[in-house]
Structures are given as structure tokens and as C-alpha cells.
Amino acid sequence: MKAISLFMDVEDPVNPLADDAAKDFAELFTAAGVKGSFCLTGEKCRTLTARGRQDVAAAYLPHSLGLHTNTHSFHPSTMELLADLEWEEGCRAAIQAERPGMDAFTNLIGRPPEFWGGGGNTWSPEITEALKQIGIPAYSYALTEFADHAPHRFNGVVGLPQALSISELDWQDDDRAAPAVERVLREIEESAQPWLGIFVGHPTKFRYKHWWDIPYYAGRTPPTPEYGEPVADEVYEAGKQNLTSFLAIVSKRYDVVGISEALTRLNPFREPTLLELNEFKARTAKNLRSAIHWPIHRPGLSPELIVSKTLALAGTAQIAG
């Protein structure tokens, strides 16, 4: 049976209804008997701890949990931090940036994260050194990329691509959810990969009309919290209902696994052919140059040093299967 993992990001430390939404989705997966792969930011872990929301943490315990960077859209993002640093200095900065996330996660959840997920659209290869240092074996939403969403190893850490996704706006609208689900089911069938990562949304974006981090766009840090506008309760419920129906379908057809389980299925890794390696370099460079346009990033950021630091490690890249 094919293996898939279903990802959600839990990252909104600002909006008041975001904690309850986070709990709702953990419970939705638990009630469906499906293991979710949830990515929590260090900042979210700190705010849940500060607000005494152990109930939210407890709801997540049955699931596969990852660290979704320390602070996600707060500045500096991963690229903003590392764009101008040479390798050695960048590695020290990446470890220093991510270790507090690891500590906040472990403090709230009581166990270490199974994986690390890049925030939004941002990355630099020093992250792989940080992950080895703090003991995380894999990163999801990989911007390092082989053809066909092949899982891979890069600098000794497993890179898990996001092969497919369905957006919150699709889930919230019955007329959009049905064709989106059909498309994803078809693409799972067509894929030759042993494992596929499918992103199914952010609890906060089901609950609120706009992204929680809009106040942080273009390098800005708002002086006081700026709250979003919730969607109508019916819209929120429709989103949860359509996702629940999807979980019922995929859990019958596929092995929905957490990330530790996924990693055991990906071995052994092999050396890429020259053609595959060239494809890796081209796709990865393209992804990094386009990540600069993530709206969070401050204007004037250059991806070029990050591209060259990444491609300098291309010789370490290996493909699963």
C-alpha cells in the first residue's frame, strides 16, 4: 500500500481563536483515527505554554510532530538571517536561531520533534547543520528538489518535498473541495514515489479570513499585535467537514504515516545519475530564487549567496528508492 503523510502547520501565535482552532484540528485527526503530521513553531509552543494551554499540547500527542522553525514569519526569517553570511558563521547563526525552538517544543510536548519544516518560503543550507546539531533527522517542505517530488538526502539530512496540497479556501467551499480532492487522489495514483507529502492547511487559516502574518510582510514588525477577522462559523465548520471526509477516503486507500515511519520506508538512498543531479541543481536554484519573493521577506534581499552555498553541497544529494 502506498504511504502518504498529511501535513498541517500550527504557527499563529497572535490571533485569539488560533489556539482553539489548533486543538480542533488535532482532535479532528484523532477522531478520524488518522495520524497527522503537524508542524508547530517554537513561538507557538512558547505562547501555548504561557497561556496554560496544556490541553492543546495534549491533543497533539497522538500525532507526528515537527518543529516549524523557531519563529516562522518574525524577522529575521531563515533567508534574512543567512543571506549574507559565509558558511561557518551561517551555521553558528542557524543553530543559535533554531535551538530555542527545539527547547520550547520539547518543553511543551515532552519529546523532541520528528522533523523540521521550513517556514513559508524561506531556506538556507546551514539549516541542515543546525538540524544535525540539535538532533532532527529530516526537513519537510524541502526547497531542495529532485524531479517528481522524490524524497532525498541533502548534507546528511532527509529532505521531504511537499508533493501535493489542498488550500483552506478549497476545503471551506463544497464546490471547490470536491474537484481538489479528486485531483489529489488522481495525482497520488499517478505518482511513482514510495511516499508522498500532502499539505492540507493551517488551522488558523481555516478560522481567519487572512494570513496571521500579514502585519509582518516586507520586513515589518508591528509594534502591537494586529488581529485578523474570523470567518463565519458555518465556513469554519464546512472546512472541517470536507477535510474529515477526505481523511475517511485516504485512510482506507493508503497508509497514512507519521514522519518517523515515513523515514523508515525511504531507505536505502542511492547516488543520483548525472542527469538527475543537474536537474536537482536547476530546480533547487530556481526554488531559492523564487523564495526571495515570499511576502514576509524584506525588500532588497539577494538569494545568490544562499544559492551558491546550497549548490556547493549538491554532491551530498542522494535519492530515495
Q: Which is nearer to Zn ion, 124 or 318 (CB)?
A: 124
* Owner of C-alpha cell 544559492: 307
Q: Considering the complex, what minimum distance in angstroms separates the CB of residue 197 from Zn ion? A: 14
Cβ-contact 272, 280 below 8 angstroms: yes
Instruction: Give per-residue burial for 55-89: e unless 16+ CB within 10 Å, then b.
Output: ebbebbebbbbbbbbbbbbbebbbbbbbbebebee
228 three-state secondary structure: coil
Going residue by residue from 2 to 21, which x/- string records binding to Zn ion, judged by CB under 5 A? -------x-x----------
Gap between the Cα atoms of 214 and 211, Å rounded:
6
Q: Which is nearer to Zn ion, 11 or 114 (CB)?
A: 11
Q: Which is nearer to Zn ion, 122 or 284 (CB)?
A: 122
Q: Which amino acid is at 164?
A: L
117's grid cell: 519544516
Cβ-contact 110, 40 below 8 angstroms: no
Q: Considering the complex, what minimum distance in angstroms separates the CB of residue 120 from Zn ion? A: 5
1-9, 74-82, 172-180, 266-274 -> range binding Zn ion (CB under 5 A) = 1-9
Q: Which is nearer to Zn ion, 9 or 43 (CB)?
A: 9
* Owner of C-alpha cell 533567508: 79
Residue whose Cβ sits closest to Zn ion: 9
* Tally of CA atoms within 13 A in the half-sphere of 110 that contains its CB: 7
Gap between the Cα atoms of 105 and 70, Å rounded:
9
Q: Which is nearer to Zn ion, 66 or 125 (CB)?
A: 66
Q: How many residues bind Zn ion (CB under 5 A)?
A: 2
Q: Considering the complex, what minimum distance in angstroms separates the CB of residue 165 from Zn ion? A: 12
Q: Considering the complex, what minimum distance in angstroms separates the CB of residue 317 from Zn ion? A: 24
Query: Which residues between 10 and 69 bind Zn ion (CB under 5 A)?
Result: 11
Q: Considering the complex, what minimum distance in angstroms separates the CB of residue 218 from Zn ion? A: 18
Cβ-contact 309, 124 below 8 angstroms: yes
Q: Considering the complex, what minimum distance in angstroms separates the CB of residue 230 from Zn ion? A: 19
Q: Considering the complex, what minimum distance in angstroms separates the CB of residue 68 from Zn ion? A: 6
Cβ-contact 125, 313 below 8 angstroms: yes
DSSP code, position 200? -
Q: Which is nearer to Zn ion, 9 or 145 (CB)?
A: 9
CA of 317: how far to CAs of 148, 184, 238, 269, 284, in Å?
15, 28, 42, 9, 11
Q: Which is nearer to Zn ion, 11 or 145 (CB)?
A: 11
Q: Which is nearer to Zn ion, 11 or 126 (CB)?
A: 11
165 three-state secondary structure: strand
CA of 5: how far to CAs of 63, 197, 235, in Å?
11, 5, 25
Q: Considering the complex, what minimum distance in angstroms separates the CB of residue 9 from Zn ion? A: 4
Under the criterion CB under 5 A, does residue 145 sit at the interface with Zn ion? no
Q: Which is nearer to Zn ion, 11 or 98 (CB)?
A: 11
- In degrees and rounded to multiples of 5, residue 168 shows phi and psi of -60, -40
Q: Considering the complex, what minimum distance in angstroms separates the CB of residue 83 from Zn ion? A: 19
Cβ-contact 10, 201 below 8 angstroms: no
Residue ranges in contact with Zn ion by CB under 5 A: 9, 11
